[in-house]
Amino acid sequence: MMMEGMTQRWKEVLDRMACAARRAGRQPDSVRLVAVSKLHSADAVRALFESGQREFGENYVQEAQAKMAVLPPEISWHFIGHLQTNKARNVVGRFSLIHGVDSLKLARSLHDRAKALGLVQDILVQVNLAAETQKSGILEADLPGLAEFLTGCTHLRWQGLMLMPPFFDDPERARPYFARLNVLAQSLRVGFGLPLPDLSMGMTGDFEAAIEEGATLVRIGTRIFGERGTN
Ligand SMILES: *Cc1c(COP(=O)(O)O)cnc(C)c1O
């Protein structure tokens, strides 16, 4: 019963994503869903995988590793949590995309690990657009230094930007932040000559506004799996 409801909600999310893309004159397949499975069971992930979902997002390294160990290798895992520099070695090579790179120090340690493993790790830079003190993300003012480093990085492939806007009940209030991340990505593309194809923004409460403002990856948990900490 619970799993049936979940598959139904997942389909509704995909429909709403496609509608939002069309409203913005974009192809529906230009936006991908990262189903955020943190604090939900491996069985729930498996059920959604069997319905066709391939990309899942996790915030905690140990929890993610426990799921990876028992779930199909076709799953593409995204690390969307806050990453401490000393944990960098645990994520490189295990996740298809690391969303939360927000300092030179962290980028360096991810790069060193990727180099030691002989692989190229895809990453996004998380930007703290509102300069909220409690929040992860690099300040806009510090972005050029990090961008400079990433441009010369042989073992990190910088794929774009990630955003957690300030929390609002009304998604329309988050919209200006989504629009601004899009403009910022465009100026970085021009300034650094990089493709930076991905914008990771939009969650359960505001993914449609994010897509209308250019998101290519939306990270949705609650809307699909239900409230966290109940199973
Ligand atoms: C938990 C989380 C999400 C999903 O949030 P929902 O509101 O449950 O959709 C998205 N992004 C990040 C970074 C998260 O930590």
Longest Cα–Cα distance in the chain: 51
Dump pLDDT digits (tens) for 26-84: 999 999 999 999 999 999 999 999 999 999 999 999 999 999 999 999 999 999 999 99
Residues whose beta carbon lies within 6 Å of some atom of ligand 1: 36, 38, 59, 80, 164, 203-204, 219-223
Write down the residue that tokens 């492939």 correspond to. 157
Q: Does residue 231 carry a pLDDT above 50?
A: no
In a domain, 157, yes or no: yes
Q: How many domains does the chain have?
A: 1
In a domain, 14, yes or no: yes
> For residue 83, what are the domain limits?
2-225
Q: What is the pLDDT of residue 2?
A: 65
Q: What is the pLDDT of residue 117?
A: 97
In a domain, 230, yes or no: no
In a domain, 36, yes or no: yes
Q: Does residue 220 carry a pLDDT above 80?
A: yes
The CATH code of the domain that includes 178 is 3.20.20.10
Q: What is the pLDDT of residue 1?
A: 53
Q: What is the position in ligand 1's atom list of the atom closest to the CA of 59? A: 15
Dump pLDDT digits (tens) for 122-161: 999 999 999 999 899 999 999 999 999 999 999 999 999 9
Q: What is the position in ligand 1's atom list of the atom closest to the CA of 228? A: 8
Q: Averaged over 181-185, what is the pLDDT?
A: 98
Q: What is the pLDDT of residue 57?
A: 98
Q: Averaged over 192-211, what is the pLDDT?
A: 98
Residue 166 DSSP symbol: P
Q: What is the position in ligand 1's atom list of the atom closest to the CA of 80? A: 13
**Within a 10 A sphere around the Cβ of 145, how many other Cβ atoms?**
12
* Model confidence, pTM: 0.97
Per the structure block, which two tokens stand in for 117?
């493993």
Q: What is the pLDDT of residue 3?
A: 76
Give yes or no for a contact between 97 and 116, defined as CB atoms under 8 angstroms apart. Answer: no
| Mean confidence (pLDDT) of the chain | 96
> How remote is the CA of residue 17 from the centroid of ligand 1, in Å?
16
Q: What is the pLDDT of residue 230?
A: 45
Give yes or no for a contact between 91 and 83, defined as CB atoms under 8 angstroms apart. Answer: yes
Residues near 179 by Cβ (< 8 Å), separated by ≥ 6? 213, 214
> How remote is the CA of residue 223 from the centroid of ligand 1, in Å?
10
In a domain, 44, yes or no: yes
Q: How confident is the model at residue 229 (pLDDT cuts 50, 70, 90)?
A: confident
Q: What is the position in ligand 1's atom list of the atom closest to the CA of 220? A: 9
In a domain, 231, yes or no: no
> How remote is the CA of residue 191 from the centroid of ligand 1, in Å?
30
In a domain, 79, yes or no: yes
Q: What is the pLDDT of residue 200?
A: 99
Q: Write a three-state SS string for the chain.
A: CHHHHHHHHHHHHHHHHHHHHHHCCCCHHHCEEEEECCCCCHHHHHHHHHHCCCEEEECCHHHHHHHHHHCCCCCEEEECCCCCHHHHHHHCCCCCEEEEECCHHHHHHHHHHHHHHCCCEEEEEEECCCCCCCCCCECHHHHHHHHHHHHCCCCEEEEEEEECCCCCCCHHHHHHHHHHHHHHHHHHHHHHCCCCCEEECCCCCCHHHHHHCCCCEEEECHHHHCCCCCC
Q: What percent of the chain has pLDDT over 70?
A: 98
Q: How confident is the model at residue 111 (pLDDT cuts 50, 70, 90)?
A: very high
> How remote is the CA of residue 58 from the centroid of ligand 1, in Å?
9
In a domain, 216, yes or no: yes
